[in-house]
Amino acid sequence: MSRKEAIKKLEQTLIRRRDAIRRALKGDLSLFQELHQEKTGDVLDAAADSVQDELNSQLIEVEARELSAIDEAIARMRDGSYGHCAGCGRSIPLTRLRAVPYATDCIECRRKSESKAKRGGVSWNRVYDEADATS
């Protein structure tokens, strides 16, 4: 299979994943809203609901970030820049793209980026906004 054919197949995979995430988010958000309307119970129930709300919110955030990455990858496919490393400009190997179809960098550049982040004290596992950074 040629690289062009493989990328076309990855595009179909990304579109299917995007559609699945959209359906899941729609369901998650409507369930989230329903649960907020049905609040009853004692203090322990409220605490359990609060913990569950936080977990649901984090899951929705992860899905939304993945959806954004997928949309960006599809846009790169359409403008011809998909599959090229944003760091060094070389082609990203198909094995990496198959593993992470919305990857924007090659393994080498990703490792450099993560190493730099560790030295700078930045955690890629946590989303910070400017308010958190200045607190």
Tell me the pLDDT tens digit for each residue of 87-113. Answer: 999 999 999 999 999 999 999 999 999
Confidence of residue 135 (pLDDT cuts 50, 70, 90): very low
Tell me the pLDDT tens digit for each residue of 31-86. Answer: 555 655 555 667 777 677 777 778 878 888 898 999 999 999 999 999 999 999 99
Fold entry, domain 3-125: Four Helix Bundle (Hemerythrin (Met), subunit A) (1.20.120)
Handedness of CA 61, 59, 23, 67 (dihedral sign): positive
Q: Which of 101, 126, 95, 103 is nearest to 18 (CA)?
A: 101
Query: How is the chain split into domains, by residue range?
Result: 3-125
